[in-house]
Amino acid sequence: MPITGFVSGRSSTQKAYPGKTTPFVILTCLVAATSGLIFGYDVGISGGVTSMEPFLSKFFPSVHRKMMMAAHKSSNQYCKFDSQLLTTFTSSLYLAALLTSLLASTVTRALGRKNSMLIGGVIFLAGSVMNGAAENVAMLIVGRILLGVGVGFACQAAPLYLSEMAPPHLRGMLNMGFQLMITFGIFSANLINYGTSKIMGDWSWRISLSLAAVPAMIITVGCVFLPDSPNSLVARGHTEKARTMLQRIRGIQDVDEEFNDMVTASDESKRVRHGWSNMGKRKHRPQLVMAVLLTSFQQLTGINVIMFYAPVLFKTIGFGSNGSLMSAVIIGLVNMFATLVSISTVDKIGRRLLYLEGGPQMFVSQITVGTLIAVNFGSTGEASMPKLYAWIVVASICIYVAGFAWSWGPLTILITSEIFPLEIRSAAQSLAISVSMFFTFSIAQAFLPMLCHLKFGLFYFFGGWVAIMTTFVYFFLPETKNIPIEKMVLVWRDHWFWGRFIDDDAGRHAHGGQEPVDAVENDRKVVSAI
Ligand code: BGC
């Protein structure tokens, strides 16, 4: 059996779900996707704020002193920002998000996806007020923990919501709206930091941190008006409401087939007391291993080294404050526009091709950046980089970010939200987000000491991971393009490796008890013809 084929090409008379793409579903997905803004704003704002002098001198005077000394070229460039307290400020949010997303699984399952997003928005709002008003490090960290709780709820619920609402042939595009909002959040934060860094005194960082309230308000108000997904309504016993909602989002009256699959999936899920205990079953192993590995790998690309610390990194290679923040803005723009490439192609060319192009592109640019820094700073870090060189580093980082933005960024969120059966979907999504936050936390925490010790080798380290993960995708990731979400088990059952974990009659219910073995490729074809 070919290892790249994943789904054997069988034919069938099975039909995919009928339906139209309604403006209503597009609008609801757009509103739900704004949940990504709060995560993105946060990722983008901390790097800039932690390189602002008034912020450092108020909360982290020892880092400030070191930075001043490093201005004299004799100091080691690699180590000038290394401070445990400073990294704790950045990474505390991710620890809070990690714990919250575990709890959010129960809330999302019991109260629905929409309510979890709403709770996330409100708590994030409280965090932004606390941070903007901070007078000491404790206030700063408590505020950041609140932001993390908000992010945990939003990241757990929103991707699930989007994948459930979207019709199968647009699921990739609509789900990726979440990642697009993350990138928009990061970009806006970069831009705001660029503007506020010109303000003298405490108002610079206070404005940057308080403006997190804007995305928080957007998602809070937006969520008040959102309907819940039909899958979540069925699972919570609101069967008639769910049918009406499905008719509304699909724009047709006859939604029986899709609706029946949801009811069957929900009945199955009710036989399970809660998703967590069921997750360990052998039949769920392929999806579980995939979600955990993809989310870990996503962070091991090293993306957040760039997202959090781009201004710090650029100062390290010799840009002034202005140049550093400006470069972060450029990178934010590249990140946002490159995500659009993925959005417009993912439902046509599929997930695998985007991963397999993005990976090598990222690998080559990481090796280039590492080598440029090695040649210039060597291992002592005692030099300054000529301007032309520094700009080549920025250009290589842009190429790397573009690769991430059309592959590992949006695809990882999409795939983890679309591969699980309803019975464990909420719990599994929580696990995936927690793993992601764990790695985000660890990398945020480890970056400055790693830069100090691994020096230019840091880029080789992440480049090595990108090579490993791209190989993994090549062999093990099945193509999930255009497969209806409640029929997804079939792509695993028909995969050359993962098939051994899944019973031959798995997915029978997803086809009304008929021809399960023939259905998946046909579904994909029918859906792509829509
Ligand atoms: C990741 C974030 C990252 C962002 C960059 C997201 O998919 O989860 O950790 O900062 O992409 O755009």
**Could you tell me the sign of the dihedral formed by the alpha carbons of 512, 514, 517, 523, in that order?**
negative
CA separation, residue 155 to residues 460, 504, 511 (Å)? 30, 34, 31
**Residues with C-beta less than 6 Å from any ligand 1 atom:** 43, 179, 182-183, 186, 298, 303-304, 307, 335, 409, 413, 436, 440
Distance 413 CA to ligand 1 centre (A): 9
Angle between helices 113-132 and 213-225 (to 10 degrees): 160
Kindly give the distance from the C-alpha atom of residue 123 to the centroid of ligand 1, in angstroms, as a whole number.
Answer: 21
- Report how far apart, in Å, the C-alpha atoms of 445 and of each of 396, 406, 449 are: 24, 26, 8
The distance from CA 288 to its chain's CA centroid, rounded to whole angstroms, is 17
Cβ-contact 521, 8 below 8 angstroms:
yes
Report residue 318 as tokens: 């010799």
With the most atoms of ligand 1 within 8 angstroms of its CB, the residue from 151, 182, 296, 333 to mutate is 182
Q: For residue 413, which atom of ligand 1 is closest to its CA?
A: 7
Q: Which residue has a Cα nearest atom 8 of ligand 1?
A: 409
CA nearest neighbour of 343 among 301, 402, 405, 290: 405
pLDDT at 71: 60
Residue pLDDT, tens place only, 46-84: 878 887 889 988 988 887 887 777 665 545 666 766 667
How far is the centre of ligand 1, averaged over its atoms, from the C-alpha of 80 (Å)? 26
Q: What is the rounded distance in angstroms from the CA atom of residue 239 to the CA atom of residue 231?
A: 9
The 10s digit of each residue's pLDDT in 190-243 is 899 989 988 989 999 999 999 999 999 999 999 999 999 998 899 888 999 999
Ligand 1 atom closest to residue 335's alpha carbon, by position in its atom list? 12
Least confident of 169-178, 415-424, 500-509: 500-509
> Closest Cα partner for 331 from 387, 393, 255?
393
304 close to 440: Cβ distance less than 8 angstroms: yes
Token pair belonging to 425: 């979907």
Positive/negative CA dihedral, 404, 405, 411, 417: positive
Q: Residue 254 — φ and ψ, nearest 5°?
A: -85, 90
Neighbours of 269 (CB within 10 A): 21
Residue 515: the pLDDT is 41
* Distance in Å, CA 55 to ligand 1 centroid: 25
Q: Over 445-496, what HEC string results?
A: HHHHHHHHHHCCHHHHHHHHHHHHHHHHHHHHCCCCCCCCHHHCHHHHHCCC
User: How many residues are recorded in the chain?
Assistant: 530
Q: Which atom of ligand 1 is nearest to the CA of 436?
A: 8
Instruction: Give residue 525's pLDDT band: very low, low, confident or very high (50, 70, 90).
Output: low
What atom in ligand 1 is closest to the CA of residue 299?
A: 9
∠393-87-81 over CA atoms, to 5°?
A: 50
pLDDT tens-digit map of 248-294: 989 999 888 889 988 888 887 777 666 677 888 888 999 999 999 99
**Residue bearing the CA closest to ligand 1, atom 3:** 304
Going from the Cα of 77 to the center of ligand 1, the distance in angstroms, rounded, reads 27
Which is the closest atom of ligand 1 to the Cα of 410? 7
